[in-house]
Amino acid sequence: IILALNKSDVTNPDHTDAYMIHCEDEVDNIIHISALQSKHIEGLKDLMFQYLPEGKRDSTVDMFITPLLSMSSKEYIAELVREKIYLHTGQEVPYQTRTQIDSNTENDDQTKLKIKGKILVNAPHYKPMLIGAGGQKIKQISNKVAREIQYMTGKQVDVKLMVHVEK
């Protein structure tokens, strides 16, 4: 068992000792992290991977956008868009956001990938938060998604996202 104590950046009140008293005999490792400041996150990931067993490679995932996951390309891209929304909207994030990838196509020589999708929100006031001034927020999210997919695939990636209010 790994105990990850978040909010190590917050000094008052400090409940660390209380957690330690109740948990130290039951856990193998304790790591202090700050998700807000991204401190010790890599150390937590490394620690988690130390405990994972070696497994056989699943060759069925070769048909997906990334061989690391066994989900469809559209599902993976939708989750990637959601991740970028949460990372780039901070406290303003609309927690009722859904993402939908409408198309994911490659050109004939398979060097370019074109992705079209929607960000669906449940209330009209969330739409401008995601679009941003002059479309900057939606452009930032699209560019981050495109860069990550380009890094994984080695292909030129174009991502077009639209924000819609669900009825």
- In this predicted model, what pLDDT tens digit does every residue of 8-18 receive, in sequence order? 777 776 666 77
pLDDT at 91 over 80: no
Higher-confidence position of 106 and 92? 106
pLDDT digits (tens, 9 = 90+) for 103-127: 988 888 888 999 999 999 988 988 9
Mean pLDDT of 81-99: 82
Tokens of 105: 């196509």
Q: Indicate the pTM of the whole model.
A: 0.60
Cα gap 92→129, rounded to integer Å: 7
The set of residues, in sequence order, having a beta carbon less than 8 Å from that of 128 and lying 6+ positions away, is none
| Interior/surface letters 117-146, b for 16+ CB within 10 angstroms, e for the rest | bbbbbeeeebeebbbeeeeebbeebbebbb
Residue 61: the pLDDT is: 58
